Amino acid sequence: MTERYASPAAPRQPAVNAGKLWAGGLATALVAALIATVGILVGRGLFDVDVLAPKGAGVWGDARTAWYAAGAAAAGLTATAVVHLLILYAPRPMRFFGWVMALATVVAMVAPLATEKDPGSRFYTALLNLILGVAIGSLVAGTAHTATRPGEPAASGPYSYDPEGM
């Protein structure tokens, strides 16, 4: 009779290997910075699009190129922090992480389109931001899956129902 009213098993809290997660986050930051740098070099050198700097600044651009690469690396680290917090506290962490990354990528794509630069520069920068968002999202999600394993049941509270304890 008590089985009918028994509460389901306590939800399992996943265990996170933080060292592995953050090592993957650092690797993601490096890859994102390199994607940004290569993207700017390809845009400026091959397609003659003035990405982030006027054409007179050369293929490497100016100081904004380094800031763009640093921003991409920071986005990778921020995504790692977000997924870490979601794994620890959210009920479906990877589903929420997917939404966060998708919406952040859309924002990053729309931002250059709202500027008054020439259309080629705006669309190329939006495309580069899409590539960065997909790369960061997929690398961090893959690292999170690798660094997470099912954990122990969550600790029960002082007023939880335990049919065997009666």
pLDDT in tens, the chain (166 residues): 555 555 555 556 778 999 999 999 999 999 999 999 999 989 988 988 877 655 555 555 565 788 899 999 999 999 999 999 999 999 999 999 999 999 999 999 999 898 887 888 889 999 999 999 999 999 999 999 999 987 655 444 444 444 454 4
Cα–Cα distance, 110 to 32 (Å, whole number): 19
- Between the two ends of the chain, the Cα-to-Cα distance in Å is 13
pTM value is 0.80
Token pair, residue 95, equals 């589903």
* Rounded Cα–Cα distance for residues 23 and 147 (Å): 10
34-57 as b/e: b if 16+ CB within 10 A? ebbbebbeebbeeeebbbbbeeee
Residues 6+ apart with CB under 8 A from 11: 91, 153, 154
